[in-house]
Amino acid sequence: MQKLTIALPSGRLKEECLSLINQGNLAELTNSRKLLNFYDEYRLIEVKPIDVPVYVENGVADCGFVGKDILLESNHEVYELLDCQIGKCHLALAQAERGDIESIATKYVNIAKDYCLGNNLHIDIIKLNGSVELAPAVGLANTILDIVSTGNTLRANNLEEIERIMDISVRLIVNKASFQIKREEIDDLVKLIEYKEKGYA
Ligand code: PRP
């Protein structure tokens, strides 16, 4: 058997992703700050969520866990193998006062461009790297496009969802060459994740 290198997203999705591949030996990793870890079956690397497809596309990692939002925004050459059924949330447009969309502030510039193309909107799209919900209150844009999970951030900033754009969840992505060379190991990983998804272990 060849060892798989798996890219894990740091931050809020890390624990859930770990639980999908944990065979009773990875628990200590949840709160660890060590970014490269070796186990019997896997070599785990922890990277920024947005960088997971970069590591997988380049073959540094054979596979990785990444949100569908990042895949849609960045368009990397990787196989998307499985919907892991975790990290469920959605992308939405929101405004302080329902009205015409005059400008959009977002981390997801490409998704916003596609939305505008599809809706024949010729407006400014402003790229931010976080705290997007602040934009309407300070007059940067009258609309935001962002992830909504619990809806708490929208509510805390007096924003109202005006359109749900798409559902998002974590996907297992695989390097194209690894998919050929390490097929057996990847099939085993997919089976393990599906088994965990069903709550068997
Ligand atoms: C994400 C997202 C929203 C928030 C949504 O931000 O961009 O701001 O979570 O979650 P909620 O509906 O449960 O409130 P994140 O916490 O990743 O920080 P960021 O603003 O720096 O992107």
| Minimum-distance ligand 1 atom for the alpha carbon of 149 | 12
Q: Do 4-87+169-197 and 89-167 have matching folds?
A: yes
Distance CA 112, CA 181 (A): 37
Residue 196 has what pLDDT?
81
- Which protein residue's CA is at the shortest distance from atom 7 of ligand 1? 147
For strand 103-106 and strand 42-47, is the pairing parallel, antiparallel, or unpaired? unpaired
- Which protein residue's CA is at the shortest distance from atom 10 of ligand 1? 149
Among 127, 150, 153, name the best residue to mutate to test ligand 1's pocket (greatest count of ligand atoms within 8 A of Cβ). Answer: 153
What CATH number is given for 89-167 in this structure? 3.40.190.10
pTM equals 0.91
Q: List, for residues 3-50, the tens digit of each pLDDT value.
A: 899 999 999 999 999 989 886 666 666 667 767 776 678 899 999 999
Give Dmax over CA atoms of the chain in angstroms.
Answer: 58
Q: List, for residues 165-183, the tens digit of each pLDDT value.
A: 999 999 999 999 999 999 9
Pocket of ligand 1 (CB under 6 A): 130-133, 146-153
User: 98 vs 196, which has greater pLDDT?
Assistant: 98
Fold of the domain spanning 4-87+169-197: D-Maltodextrin-Binding Protein; domain 2 (3.40.190)
Q: List, for residues 118-169, the tens digit of each pLDDT value.
A: 999 999 999 999 999 999 999 999 999 999 999 999 999 999 999 999 999 9
Q: Which residue ranges make up each domain of the chain?
A: 4-87+169-197, 89-167
- Let me know how long the chain is: 201
The answer to whether 137 and 158 have CB atoms below 8 angstroms apart is: yes
Confidence category of residue 94, pLDDT binned at 50, 70, 90: very high
Which single residue is written with the structure tokens 């447009």?
Answer: 93
